[in-house]
Chain A
Amino acid sequence: MTRRFLVRWALSLLAVAPFARVRLFAQVRSLDEVDRATLGAVAKVALPSPLGDEGVETVVQGFLRWIGGYRAGAEMSPGYGVPRLRRTPDLDISSYRPQLQALREGTDRGDSAAVNARIQDSLEAAGIEALPSRPDGRHVVADLLSYYLGSSEARDLCYQAAIRRHTCPGLAGMDERPAPLGSA
């Protein structure tokens, strides 16, 4: 084994070392009950209303689980014709807590217009121009939206049809227009 290879090997080990995951785990744990309640209240404004309170809560819990399950440094899907190894980037959500604290005012009064305005200000302040393709830690609301809007459920809500992408529904019925939501 050459020295050059040894160095590359050591660096690749560092890349997948669990430090980032431990830190991420600690950051998720550091969100206390108040922060989580704020996230829930913010989500009710940021997410579409047809989800209802229960649906919003399901999305929020799924989002937090997604963050907790993230592995920095994992091999990424190579993509077509890409011969180089890529790894998932670091995910640092240390900005979430101060963002949630700044968004808290108004959430306790159920003032959705005020919360909406605060979210917009917060996104402007953070310089968020577009939704990330995956949560990237820059802004808690952008990440929550990115998480939800990429889901099969969000697509069905948009199209108001039971497309059920990625749910393995079988071949039966695929030649028909997807059923309207709620009719199945």
Chain B
Amino acid sequence: MQTHESDLCIVGGGISAALISQKLSELAPDATVTVIEAGDRFFDLRARSRNRRRWLDYRENAWPGDFIEDQEADGIISRTMAVGGSALHWGGVCNRFSREDLELHSRYGLAVDWPIEWAEFERYTCEAERRLGVQGEEAPYPEDRPSTPYPMPAMPLSYNLQQLKGWAEKSGIRFQGTPEAKNTVPYDGRSVCMRCNTCTVCPTGARYSPDFTFRKLLDEGRLTLHDRTLIRKLIPDESGSRIVAARGLHRDRPDEEVEYRAPIFAIASGYVWSSHLLLLSASARFPDGLANRSGLVGRYLTGHSFVSAIMETDTRLYPGMMSHSLVSREFFRCPSDRPFVRHDLRVWENEYGQGPRLRDDSGSVLLGDDLLEDWRSRTRRGIARVRAYYDVHPARDSALTLDPNRRNRYGDPLPRVEHHLDEPTRAREAATREHILGVFGRLADDRAILDTQYSTYLDHPCGGCRMGTDPSESVCDSFGRTHDHENLFVVGASTLPTGGCTNGTLTFSALTLRSAEEIGRDLGWKPAETELPLSRSEGP
């Protein structure tokens, strides 16, 4: 068996692994860090342009090979398994959670409070914005203003978004450009946004993705990266209180087991695969898996539901200028003496019902100039897509379990993911939707709402190893350190007790950066001795 040793072994190679590795390279520069990722690495920036072209022309995968074909779950998950993870092709949206997200129980008697104070959490959010390179404009609501300004100027609102903002604010609701990890100036060695309008595969690197962080750390010799290596089991010591090894295989040499030994392990495998690995690590001593004395590993999977609508506006738009949007945070806060409802509100340009068509309303074939004129006639009024992500809370049986009937090529049972909402969430569902439709009505004014859709799944899924102070009610503490194993951390999306009402990546990143400091302390970092880089203008 091949054995590798380091001071920190990180299982999973997504955004959390990238940020921990980067921060520890500053806090504990002598520490050795190994990142193990089951998927491949995609570091060739030139290939992005070629793949982007194939994606635009043929709808081929913009990240070919970014998955493992039989490493799938039954349920909603991201398929991506690669160095960089889902953040290879995220949209870069960096909306913040709000104070209410951390205080749901104490304010409203709902779900649980997070075991972190808002003021402390907010500082890590600012740090995440600096490390990811987030642009944003000053929020119209004072409660939403960050304690440290964004590290770069805001993205100018496109002509379309200016029109949409004027239209939407007639409702009395205030909007701003959505904060995003897209460079408006050269930043951290990456280019300024060129408005290629294909953020899922940004050909310039202006939209942050973790492969840049990994590449830089590798170039500087601060990281060991083992890709194509699937960890299948964590091994505890005889006392059971510590993890001594992670075992798996290289996908090119599946018959040869490989072992990683380290004094600290961090599971950074996202909301599905983190819980999956802990459950997969069951043994005679730990029949329910590791870190699972509470029986909560894989449970309280969460995210947010949504309602979206398509509506006419009062202005002409030119769709295709820029994939950017507006957001309102007016409904992040809910007075505690009113029925609980919290949601964000986003607005995009859209082309619903405005595409070219072969037949007119009477069924006659349209060709040449008739087709063009018909197309033009239907684009004279702008269309907006609006969407509200709303706050829902998970039930205990919102869970990931091991499916004995579905196994990968190595014989490991694959995850089955089922989302269930708690009783208070289900009880207020109708009222929540009615409220959101009322907000949409304010936006539409007297114009037509052309289509309305309701979510059938939870977006931005997270949870499964929720954090808390009570070991019987949570898997890990606020730093992600598991209650059962002192040197085992779970970081990022898995640790969230509740999923908020807006995109989660910035929050996952902030929590990860806080975990990195705790891991740094275990590795000998003393806060007073290290000056963390604080300049917001120079990048990480």
Chain A residues whose C-beta falls within 8 Å of the C-beta of B196 in the assembled complex:
166-168
Interface residues of A in 94-126 (CB under 8 A from B): 116, 119-120, 123-124
Interface residues of B in 351-371 (CB under 8 A from A): 355-359, 365, 367-369, 371
Contact A129 B359 (CB under 8 A): yes
Q: Does A23 contact B (CB under 8 A)?
A: no
Contacts A119-B367, A170-B194, A174-B159 given; indicate if A78 touches B61 (C-beta within 8 A).
yes
Contact B368 A49 (CB under 8 A): yes
A interface, by DSSP: helix, strand, loop or mixed?
loop
With an 8 Å Cβ cutoff, the count of chain A residues facing the other chain is: 61
B249 to chain A, nearest CB (A): 13
Chain A residues whose C-beta falls within 8 Å of the C-beta of B320 in the assembled complex:
152, 155, 163, 165-166
Which interface residue of A47, A152, A165, A170 has the most chain B CB atoms within 10 A?
Answer: A165
Complex Cα spacing A130 to B371, Å:
12
- A-B pairs with lowest CB-CB distance, top 3: A165-B320, A75-B61, A48-B372
Interface residues of B in 458-475 (CB under 8 A from A): 459
Contacts A158-B372, A166-B197 given; indicate if A174 touches B59 (C-beta within 8 A).
no
Q: Does B57 contact A (CB under 8 A)?
A: yes
16 inter-chain pairs at a CB distance below 8 angstroms, sorted by A residue, are A2-B409, A74-B60, A76-B59, A77-B60, A83-B75, A84-B79, A128-B358, A129-B358, A130-B359, A134-B58, A158-B379, A165-B197, A168-B196, A168-B203, A174-B159, A175-B162
B155 to chain A, nearest CB (A): 7
Closest residue of chain A to B72 (Cβ to Cβ) is A83
Complex Cα spacing A68 to B497, Å:
51
- Which residues from chain B sit less than 8 Å from chain A, CB to CB? 54-62, 64-65, 67, 69-70, 72-73, 75-79, 155-159, 162, 184, 192-198, 200, 203-204, 254, 318-322, 355-359, 365, 367-369, 371-372, 375-376, 379, 409, 411, 457, 459
Chain A residues whose C-beta falls within 8 Å of the C-beta of B155 in the assembled complex:
171
Chain A residues whose C-beta falls within 8 Å of the C-beta of B158 in the assembled complex:
174-175
Q: Does A182 contact B (CB under 8 A)?
A: no
Complex Cα spacing A85 to B58, Å:
16
A132 to chain B, nearest CB (A): 9
Q: Does A70 contact B (CB under 8 A)?
A: yes
Complex Cα spacing A175 to B375, Å:
25
Contact string, A135-146, partner B, CB cutoff 8 A, digits 1/0? Answer: 000000110010
Residue of A49, A71, A160, A168 touching B58 (CB-CB under 8 A): A71
Contacts A83-B77, A158-B372, A161-B318 given; indicate if A123 touches B365 (C-beta within 8 A).
yes
